[in-house]
């Protein structure tokens, strides 16, 4: 027997309708290119998103067409999040920091018709344009007097487009399984792969962000998302902010310490989301500013992830700001959230060190995502906090396949997606990532965690950055090789570093060699390019 409830489609436009109806004056604050702050209410964002939808119609765009963006976190980019998706058009957010050939590949693969860009990216867009046959219109996100001089076909100013329309427009209703947005993985492994979200997956993921044991986004929060809007839809925060009427503070391109401090203090930010580097940059700036009182800020919660969060970040936020750090784990293929580091009452009764051990984990499994750890044969391993295996995920906001089938089959017959991460799960659902599958060091059949060795190595006062790779070994197949860069004016020898690590790890985990290098290669998203290191150093131990 079927239930007798309404089949109302789950559409992204419903979040904006809610914000407009009940929170029209709650502010969205944006840092513009010249550093000035721009203010508008959710009501204004909604009206402008509707004007945008009319302008897109005038371009002749149809449902399922793609509109690409190259833009920082500002109100205009936010309006595109709603105006494009609400029209049934697919928003394709592109990371402007990618290398030129990746940008060309991604934009062509997505086949976007319109490219919207922040004016400062005009030189980049002008270089790309001759290689983008599908793009027929270029929209500069600003006023007419900001239009770049670069020759671009059909170049229009965003504000002119909106000025030409009125806001008399109702969001269309369509199948909730329609595509809403498209993000590409950053291509740490091979060509970037497109993940195509749907309205349904986005709405369900967004509802999860509002849950207290996930991100607890609510009308009580003032949110500073430093995570870029082009990175997995800013972890879904813009949609949850609209759906709850939270105040949003968008930092534009300025993530330096002084700019962030000003926003935290003057806008009364209560919740911020940023990768660990952003916090380390803020702390370094604070060191140079005598008399700052971070405890006087309203900041209470900080969400961080994308990479393991260092203990120093968690401790500084706790001790100096009075803020709790919640570590999250996920990836483009998971929309992105899979876990968030919330403690249960039982954990809150533990002493500070035991709580710290939990906060250093990658987070606790959230409702809506199934996680499991399997061995190499695909057999599930116990959730005992110590059985290390491949992490798999399943759920309504996990992908079912990559855009246009690139990268082959993404999930197995039972719907499990292999995340490419290696780790453990415990009985409470806490996940610990020990490696990416391709980076793990398999020494004589046992696995050695490259991430754990790297975290320990950067604990040495002279080390700035560390990378551990598997080097071929005649007896053990693979052994860990440690590469480090040193802080300015510092140096460290192989013997010193091994002596530093020795009391901290099992003897067989100790790297077979340590190499000090001037720099490590990075991807456009700042992750160490281990594939290149493996190419350069995999035979290091065989060289004699």
Q: Interface with ligand ADP includes 433 (CB under 6 A)?
A: yes
Q: Toward ligand ADP, which CB reaches closer, 166 or 412? A: 412
Reported as type and span, the H/E element at residue 327 is strand 324-330
Burial class (CB in 10 A: 0-12, 13-18, 19+), 287: exposed
> Which residue among the candidates 27, 165, 176, 333 is catalytic per the annotation?
333
Task: Kindly give, in sequence order, each residue whose CB lies less than 8 Å from that of residue 344, ignoring residues fewer than 6 positions away.
Answer: 428
Report which of 468, 480, 485 is spatially closest to residue 510, judged by C-alpha positions. Answer: 480
User: Which of 59-67, 304-312, 439-447, 491-499 is the region at the interface with ligand ADP (rule: CB under 6 A)?
Assistant: 304-312
Cβ atoms within 10 Å of 47's Cβ, excluding its own = 20
The distance of closest approach from Cβ of residue 341 to ligand ADP in the complex, given in angstroms and rounded to an integer, is: 8
Three-state SS at 432:
strand
The distance of closest approach from Cβ of residue 44 to ligand ADP in the complex, given in angstroms and rounded to an integer, is: 32
- Please identify which residue in 13, 181, 185, 434 interacts with ligand ADP, judged by CB under 6 A: 185
Ramachandran area for residue 228 (φ above 0: left; ψ -120 to 50: alpha; else beta): beta
The distance of closest approach from Cβ of residue 292 to ligand ADP in the complex, given in angstroms and rounded to an integer, is: 28
The distance of closest approach from Cβ of residue 116 to ligand ADP in the complex, given in angstroms and rounded to an integer, is: 22
**Cβ atoms 501, 535 nearer than 8 A:** no
Note if 333 is an active site residue: yes
User: Which of 86-94, 124-132, 417-425, 503-511 is the region at the interface with ligand ADP (rule: CB under 6 A)?
Assistant: 417-425
- Please identify which residue in 137, 208, 332, 450 interacts with ligand ADP, judged by CB under 6 A: 332
Q: Toward ligand ADP, which CB reaches closer, 233 or 270? A: 233
Query: Which two structure tokens, joined as six digits, stand for 263?
Result: 């926003």
- Of residues 188 through 247, those in contact with ligand ADP by CB under 6 A are 188
Q: Interface with ligand ADP includes 86 (CB under 6 A)?
A: no
With residues binned 3-state (H G I as helix, E B as strand, rest as coil), the percentages for the chain, rounded to 5, are 35, 25, 40
Calpha distance 277→541 (Å, rounded): 33
Reported as type and span, the H/E element at residue 539 is none
> Which residue among the candidates 159, 447, 476, 504 is catalytic per the annotation?
447
Q: Toward ligand ADP, which CB reaches closer, 342 or 362? A: 362
The distance of closest approach from Cβ of residue 307 to ligand ADP in the complex, given in angstroms and rounded to an integer, is: 5
User: Which of 19-27, 185-193, 255-263, 465-473 is the region at the interface with ligand ADP (rule: CB under 6 A)?
Assistant: 185-193
Calpha distance 423→468 (Å, rounded): 17
Interface size with ligand ADP, residues (CB under 6 A): 18
Q: Interface with ligand ADP includes 276 (CB under 6 A)?
A: no
Q: Toward ligand ADP, which CB reaches closer, 91 or 125? A: 91
The distance of closest approach from Cβ of residue 420 to ligand ADP in the complex, given in angstroms and rounded to an integer, is: 6
The distance of closest approach from Cβ of residue 391 to ligand ADP in the complex, given in angstroms and rounded to an integer, is: 8
Q: Toward ligand ADP, which CB reaches closer, 279 or 329? A: 329
Note if 51 is an active site residue: no
333 HSE (CA, 13 A, CB side): 22
- Please identify which residue in 214, 270, 327, 443 interacts with ligand ADP, judged by CB under 6 A: 327
Query: Which two structure tokens, joined as six digits, stand for 505?
Result: 């790890």
> Which residue among the candidates 74, 185, 206, 434 is catalytic per the annotation?
185
Calpha distance 443→456 (Å, rounded): 19
The distance of closest approach from Cβ of residue 509 to ligand ADP in the complex, given in angstroms and rounded to an integer, is: 19
Q: Interface with ligand ADP includes 436 (CB under 6 A)?
A: yes
Task: Kindly give, in sequence order, each residue whose CB lies less than 8 Å from that of residue 52, ignoring residues fewer than 6 positions away.
Answer: 79, 80, 83, 84, 161, 162, 165
Q: Interface with ligand ADP includes 421 (CB under 6 A)?
A: yes
The distance of closest approach from Cβ of residue 369 to ligand ADP in the complex, given in angstroms and rounded to an integer, is: 13
Q: Which neighbouring-strand residues pair with 431? A: 363, 425
User: Which of 144-152, 260-268, 303-311, 439-447 is the region at the interface with ligand ADP (rule: CB under 6 A)?
Assistant: 303-311
Calpha distance 305→326 (Å, rounded): 8
> Which residue among the candidates 442, 485, 504, 525 is catalytic per the annotation?
442
Calpha distance 40→402 (Å, rounded): 37
**Cβ atoms 247, 223 nearer than 8 A:** yes
Q: Interface with ligand ADP includes 305 (CB under 6 A)?
A: yes
- Please identify which residue in 308, 337, 469, 484 interacts with ligand ADP, judged by CB under 6 A: 308
Three-state SS at 131:
helix
User: Which of 8-16, 325-333, 452-460, 471-479 is the region at the interface with ligand ADP (rule: CB under 6 A)?
Assistant: 325-333
Note if 442 is an active site residue: yes
Note if 315 is an active site residue: no
Calpha distance 272→257 (Å, rounded): 14
- Please identify which residue in 362, 424, 434, 450 interacts with ligand ADP, judged by CB under 6 A: 362
User: Which of 284-292, 293-301, 302-310, 528-536 is the region at the interface with ligand ADP (rule: CB under 6 A)?
Assistant: 302-310
What is the distance of C-alpha 137 from the center of its chain?
28
Q: Toward ligand ADP, which CB reaches closer, 396 or 420? A: 420
Residue in the structure block whose two tokens are 């790779």: 469
Burial class (CB in 10 A: 0-12, 13-18, 19+), 309: buried
User: Which of 27-35, 204-212, 324-332, 438-446 is the region at the interface with ligand ADP (rule: CB under 6 A)?
Assistant: 324-332
What is the distance of C-alpha 21 from the center of its chain?
30
Ramachandran area for residue 213 (φ above 0: left; ψ -120 to 50: alpha; else beta): alpha
Q: Toward ligand ADP, which CB reaches closer, 20 or 421? A: 421
Q: Interface with ligand ADP includes 307 (CB under 6 A)?
A: yes
Q: Which neighbouring-strand residues pair with 249? A: 29
Task: Kindly give, in sequence order, each residue whose CB lies less than 8 Å from that of residue 65, ignoring residues fewer than 6 positions away.
Answer: 89, 90, 113
Which residues here bind ligand ADP, judged by CB under 6 A?
185-186, 188, 305-308, 327, 329, 331-332, 362, 419-421, 433, 436, 527
Give the catalytic positions in this structure: 185, 333, 442, 447
């Amino acid at each position: 027997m079927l239930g007798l409830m309404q089949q109302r489609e789950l559409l992204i436009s419903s979040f904006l309708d809610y914000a407009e109806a009940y929170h029209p004056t709650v502010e969205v604050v944006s840092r513009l290119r010249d550093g000035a702050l721009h203010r508008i209410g959710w009501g204004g964002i909604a009206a402008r998103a509707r004007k945008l939808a009319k302008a897109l119609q005038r371009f002749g765009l149809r449902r399922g067409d793609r509109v690409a963006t190259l833009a920082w976190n500002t109100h205009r980019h936010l309006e595109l999040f709603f105006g494009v998706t609400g029209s049934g058009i697919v928003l394709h957010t592109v990371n402007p920091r990618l290398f030129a050939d990746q940008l060309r590949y991604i934009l062509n693969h997505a086949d976007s018709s319109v490219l919207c860009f922040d004016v400062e990216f005009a030189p980049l867009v002008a270089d790309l344009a001759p290689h983008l046959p599908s793009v027929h219109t270029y929209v500069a996100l600003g006023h007419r007097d900001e239009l770049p001089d670069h020759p671009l076909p059909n170049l229009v100013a965003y504000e002119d487009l909106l000025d030409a329309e009125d806001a008399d427009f109702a969001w269309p209703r369509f199948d909730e399984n329609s595509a809403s947005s498209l993000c590409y993985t950053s291509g740490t492994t091979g060509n970037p792969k497109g993940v195509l979200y749907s309205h349904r997956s986005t709405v369900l993921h967004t509802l999860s962000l509002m849950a207290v044991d996930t991100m607890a986004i609510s009308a009580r929060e003032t949110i500073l998302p430093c995570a870029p809007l082009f990175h997995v839809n800013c972890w879904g925060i813009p949609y949850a902010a609209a759906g709850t009427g939270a105040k949003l503070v968008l930092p534009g391109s300025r993530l330096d310490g002084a700019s962030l401090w000003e926003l935290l203090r003057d806008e009364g930010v209560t919740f911020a989301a940023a990768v660990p580097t952003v916090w380390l940059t803020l702390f370094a700036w604070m060191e140079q500013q005598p008399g700052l009182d971070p405890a006087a800020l309203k900041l209470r919660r900080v969400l961080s992830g994308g990479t393991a969060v260092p203990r120093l970040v968690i401790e500084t936020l706790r001790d100096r700001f009075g803020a709790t750090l919640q570590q999250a784990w996920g990836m483009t293929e998971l929309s992105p959230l899979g876990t968030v580091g919330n403690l249960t009452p039982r954990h809150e009764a533990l002493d500070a060190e035991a709580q710290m051990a939990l906060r250093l984990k990658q987070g606790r499994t959230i409702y809506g995502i199934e996680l499991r750890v399997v061995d190499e044969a695909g057999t599930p391993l116990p959730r005992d906090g110590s059985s290390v295996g491949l992490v798999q995920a399943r759920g309504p906001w996990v992908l079912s396949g990559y855009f246009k089938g690139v990268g082959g089959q993404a999930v197995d017959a039972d719907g499990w997606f292999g995340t490419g991460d290696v780790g453990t799960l415990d009985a409470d659902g806490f996940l610990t990532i020990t490696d990416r599958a391709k980076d793990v060091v398999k020494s004589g059949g046992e696995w050695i965690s490259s991430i754990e060795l790297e975290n320990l190595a950067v604990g040495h006062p002279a080390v700035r950055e560390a990378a551990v790779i598997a080097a071929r070994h005649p007896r053990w197949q693979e052994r860990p090789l440690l590469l480090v860069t040193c802080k300015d004016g510092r140096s460290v020898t192989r013997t010193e570093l091994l002596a530093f690590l020795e009391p901290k790890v099992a003897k067989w985990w100790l790297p077979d060699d340590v190499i000090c290098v001037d720099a490590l290669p990075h991807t456009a998203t700042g992750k160490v390019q281990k594939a290149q290191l493996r190419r350069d150093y995999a035979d290091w131990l065989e060289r004699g």
